[in-house]
Amino acid sequence: MKLRGAVLLPFLLLWAAPETGSDQTRVVVESMMHAIAARFDQVQSYTRLQHYSASDDRFGLKAEMVARIHYDHSKGKTFEIVSRSGSTLLQSRVFDALLHDEVETSKLLAHESGLLTTHNYSFRLTGQAVLAGRRCYLLELNPLRRDKHLLQGRAWVDTEDYGVVHIEGRPAESLSFWIGKPVIIQDFEKLSGFWFASRRHSVTNGVLTGLSELTVEYTDYQIRLKPPDAQ
């Protein structure tokens, strides 16, 4: 399986941008953070299915899992397992670990993409691009500290509503001795007026582990917005 980022070129048209000043970068970043905050303020709850699939070529391991996520504005996330199959090692060391980390992080951040703030990153606007038919700003992401939840890479931000459309990069801190810093690609889709995760793909190609891939597909969203008078 080829790295998804390697096949983006047919869908991604880049063009040179004029020298980008700090004022322009600040406007884009502040607008992006406002869009993220607006989703947090207006989404009361949602449920979705997360379909995990992982493989490890070195040891010939494969596994799949489906989990149902429940998000509540005031409580964060909980989950229930729908189905499992394949390697028990990948189930426990990868899938379960990711789920528990997602739940714990939700209690602190309250909303996805909440890490994309000036508290966690310095940003630099490097140009614009068309991704899957949408014109986007390209933001360079530079983590301000070593943290496995932060990515050194780029974000594609919609020029119309400043929603995060796509992110790719590597963790600022190794996930583990064995995994290291995989290439991570995240896609988002617009639902009920807001951008939600649709796919996450990571690839590690280490000397000890060989080629390992993990994909999470986010589907079947059921979203409940707050009443206008409660926002």
Q: What is the dihedral of CA 202, 207, 210, 214, to 10 degrees?
A: -20
Residue 19 or 130, more confident: 130
Query: Which residues does 194 contact at the CB level (< 8 Å), separation at least 6?
Result: 38, 39, 42, 43, 163
Which residues are registered as beta bridge partners of 13?
130
Tell whether the model's pLDDT for residue 228 goes beyond 60: yes
Tell whether the model's pLDDT for residue 211 goes beyond 70: yes
Q: What is the pLDDT of residue 113?
A: 47
94-104: average pLDDT: 91
Tell whether the model's pLDDT for residue 178 goes beyond 60: no
Residue bearing tokens 């992006």: 32
Residue 69 or 106, more confident: 69
* Sheet of strand 121-131, all strands in order from the earlier edge strand to the far edge: 12-15, 121-131, 134-143, 151-158, 164-171, 183-191, 194-206, 210-225, 43-56, 61-72, 76-86
Q: What is the pLDDT of residue 110?
A: 56
Q: What is the pLDDT of residue 58?
A: 82
198-220: average pLDDT: 87
Of 41, 88, 25, 82, nearest to 194 (Cα)?
Answer: 41
Percent of the chain having pLDDT more than 70? Answer: 84
Task: State pTM to two decimals.
Answer: 0.85
Q: Are 69 and 47 in contact (CB under 8 A)?
A: yes
Q: Report the Cα–Cα distance between both ends of the chain, in Å, rounded.
A: 44
Q: What is the pLDDT of residue 22?
A: 81
d(CA 188, CA 35): 14
Q: What is the pLDDT of residue 16?
A: 40
Torsions phi, psi of 39, nearest 5?
-65, -40
Q: Which amino acid is it at 127?
A: G
86-115: average pLDDT: 83
Indicate the CATH number for domain 22-225: 2.50.20
Q: Mind listing the pLDDT tens digit for each residue in 64-92?
A: 999 999 999 888 999 999 999 999 999 99
Query: Which residues does 131 contact at the CB level (< 8 Å), separation at least 6?
Result: 8, 11, 12, 156, 165, 166
DSSP 32: H
pLDDT band at 6 (very low <50, low <70, confident <90, very high): very low
Q: Mind listing the pLDDT tens digit for each residue in 47-63?
A: 999 999 999 888 899 99
Least confident residue range of 2-11, 22-31, 144-153: 2-11
